Amino acid sequence: MMQEIEKVLISEEALQKRIQELGMELARDYEGKTPVFVGVLKGVILFFGDMIRATPIRSQIDLMAVSSYGAGTESSGKIVLKKDVSLNLEGRHVIVLEDIIDTGLTLKFTVEHLKAMHPASLKICTLLDKPARRTVDISADYVGFTIPNEFVVGYGLDYNDYYRNLPFIGVLKPEVYEK
């Protein structure tokens, strides 16, 4: 698997350090509240587990599955809701956790879907932000890392559902997806 990785963009240590910082920031901002972390599957899976543990306040969790990508590296632009949340989010403080904001289409769909449930507040926390690829006007309230326009995998992010188990964020060799 490692021979298909061109370089490590964000090391495991850097990821964990930044997640600890974000967790302390969220703990301060949500002190006295009981937020619901809503993760957007599947890419968020590792970030979700680390992020909720890094935020030492009373909270609840829920998960959605939304998909925009077909096979390959380009978004199809079509968003499909594959799994909805199960908690009642009305009047709740919702923190959406995402692994990456690329075009922003997934997040726009997610936010509109969750806002229709009338939460008390809704904020977005993304591990990675790739602003160069944005096609819709949306931004996160909490950002782990702003990254260049490179095809990244690892730490939950995939190519054709592979590489999610890498503990770091790496850049995939172009020959892997140009084959």
Active site residues: 102
Q: Does 101 bind ligand PRP (CB under 6 A)?
A: yes
Dihedral class, residue 42 (left if φ above 0, else alpha if ψ from -120 to 50, else beta): alpha
Q: Does 155 bind ligand PRP (CB under 6 A)?
A: no
Least Å from the CB of residue 91 to ligand PRP: 26
Per the CB < 8 A criterion, the answer to whether 10 and 177 are in contact is: no
Distance CA 130, CA 1 (A): 24
Least Å from the CB of residue 109 to ligand PRP: 8
Q: Does 40 bind ligand PRP (CB under 6 A)?
A: yes
Q: Does 43 bind ligand PRP (CB under 6 A)?
A: yes
Q: Does 104 bind ligand PRP (CB under 6 A)?
A: yes
Question: Out of 48, 103, 143, 154, which residue is the one contacting ligand PRP (CB under 6 A)?
Answer: 103
Distance CA 142, CA 129 (A): 10
Question: Out of 23, 36, 102, 140, which residue is the one contacting ligand PRP (CB under 6 A)?
Answer: 102
Question: Out of 100, 125, 169, 176, which residue is the one contacting ligand PRP (CB under 6 A)?
Answer: 100
Least Å from the CB of residue 119 to ligand PRP: 19
Least Å from the CB of residue 19 to ligand PRP: 17
Q: Does 55 bind ligand PRP (CB under 6 A)?
A: no
Question: Out of 37, 48, 69, 163, which residue is the one contacting ligand PRP (CB under 6 A)?
Answer: 69
Question: Out of 67, 94, 142, 163, which residue is the one contacting ligand PRP (CB under 6 A)?
Answer: 67
Helix axes 12-29, 45-54, angle to 10 degrees: 50
Per the CB < 8 A criterion, the answer to whether 132 and 149 are in contact is: yes
Query: Rule CB under 6 A: which residues touch ligand PRP?
Result: 40-43, 67-69, 75, 98-107, 158
